[in-house]
Amino acid sequence: MTPPRMLRIVLIVLWISLFAWSAEGWAETVYVQAKTAQLRAGKTSLDAVVGNVKFGDALEVVGRDGSWVEVKTAVGAKGWIFANKTSSSKPSGTNDTLAKLGQSMRGGDASATTASAGARGLDKASEGYANRAGVSARDRDAVDRMTAYQIPDQEVEEFLREGGLGEYAK
């Protein structure tokens, strides 16, 4: 192989590699910026739901059209998502590593302080506070019920649909 020919081959290989790297590097990623979101077969809320994604999921952008973004999930599923439910930056989430570490350092006992949604009863810390502060049984019950109050996501979705809000905008 003559030197100029070898050089040509090396340059071609380099060019192909660079192109492949660039295509990968330029692939735009968005993140789900909503509690949950649906992927649809088309870019309207009338199109069939083809998948569900959740807060923080990374999605590769395939295309955009108006208020909708066509995306591909990590497992290769494709669909359209309402643009207002995405963000170009990765959301940090509620209990990040630093917060967990801090609680651990301070000697936190999650089982003593956790008030999980849906569970009835004040947590130990609040119960202790209510006793010391002299909060009435009526007011304790009000906060207890407030803590436990839940509305299923499906009902929120229906509420948005009825009002023509979000992806159901007319």
Partner 1 sequence: MRNNHGLAAALIALSLTVAGCAEVQRASEDIARQSGNPRLAGAIHGVGNVVGSLFPIGYDEESSIGQAMALQVVARYGGVVDQPELVRYVNLVGRAVANTSDRPDIPYRVAILEHDSINAFAAPAGYIFVTRGLLKQVRNEAELAAVLGHEIAHVSQKHILDVIQRSKRLAGVTEAGLSYATSNPAAFKTVIDGAVKKLLDEGLDQEKETEADTIGEVFATRVGYDADAYVGFLTRLRDLKGDDRALFKTHPNFSARIEAVQKTIQGKHLAATGVVLQERFARMTKRV
In the list 6, 52, 91, 120, the residue contacting partner 1 (rule: CB under 8 A) is 91
* Contact present, 110 and 103 (Cβ < 8 Å): yes
By CB under 8 A, which span of 9-17, 18-26, 57-65, 146-154 interacts with partner 1? 146-154
* Contact present, 28 and 60 (Cβ < 8 Å): yes
In the list 19, 56, 58, 74, the residue contacting partner 1 (rule: CB under 8 A) is 56
Question: In whole angstroms, how close is the CB of 148 to partner 1 at the nearest point?
Answer: 9
Is 137 a binding residue for partner 1 by CB under 8 A? The answer is: no
Gap between the Cα atoms of 58 and 31, Å rounded: 5
CA nearest 67: which of 170, 167, 157? 167
Is 38 a binding residue for partner 1 by CB under 8 A? The answer is: no
* Binding-residue pattern over the window 103 to 132 for partner 1, x denoting contact by CB under 8 A: xxxxxxxx-xxxx-x----xxxxx-xxx-x
- The string of DSSP codes covering 52-105 is EEETT-EEEEEEEETTEEEEE-TTS-EEEEEGGGEESS----SS-HHHHHHHHH
Is 84 a binding residue for partner 1 by CB under 8 A? The answer is: yes
In the list 6, 9, 74, 99, the residue contacting partner 1 (rule: CB under 8 A) is 99
